[in-house]
Amino acid sequence: MLNPAFGLAAIVLIAPAAESPVAEAQAGVMAAMGESAEGWNQGDLVRFTSIYADEASFVASDGLVRGRRAIMARYAPRFEAGAKRGTLAFEPLDFRLLDPTHALLIARYTLKFDGAKDQSGPTSLVFERVAGKGWRIVADHSS
């Protein structure tokens, strides 16, 4: 007869370790960032901006923009035919889970251009986990 304690130990040893809440949140945020970057790189404005909450705030060197529709309008010229948009990538620098539904990502964005100087700068993003939609940016400060 098997010792019941041995059976329980075997289950514990073969069961996958649960991800920590921070690791799970970071994976979700980075997946959303990757999806957004793919939208940029494929010239899909809707896909690129789907990461923003409807009432998101975007702060850039030229001022404040409020709302996903206004953010889309700000980026729309970069998606017009013939516009030089470059290839977008993000490098995470810091990640913090602020509470179970909010997170802060500090990253460096880089736009690589063929035959032109790359553009790069810091971005600070506050995310909110939205039921059924995943992680959405509620505040973006990029320069």
User: What whole-number distance in Å separates Cα of residue 104 and Cα of residue 7?
Assistant: 42
Per residue of the chain (143 residues), give pLDDT as tens: 445 444 444 444 554 556 799 999 999 999 999 999 999 999 999 999 999 999 999 998 889 999 999 999 999 999 998 899 999 999 999 999 999 999 999 999 999 999 899 999 999 999 999 999 999 999 999 98
User: What whole-number distance in Å separates Cα of residue 74 and Cα of residue 116?
Assistant: 22
User: What whole-number distance in Å separates Cα of residue 69 and Cα of residue 17?
Assistant: 41
pTM of the model: 0.84
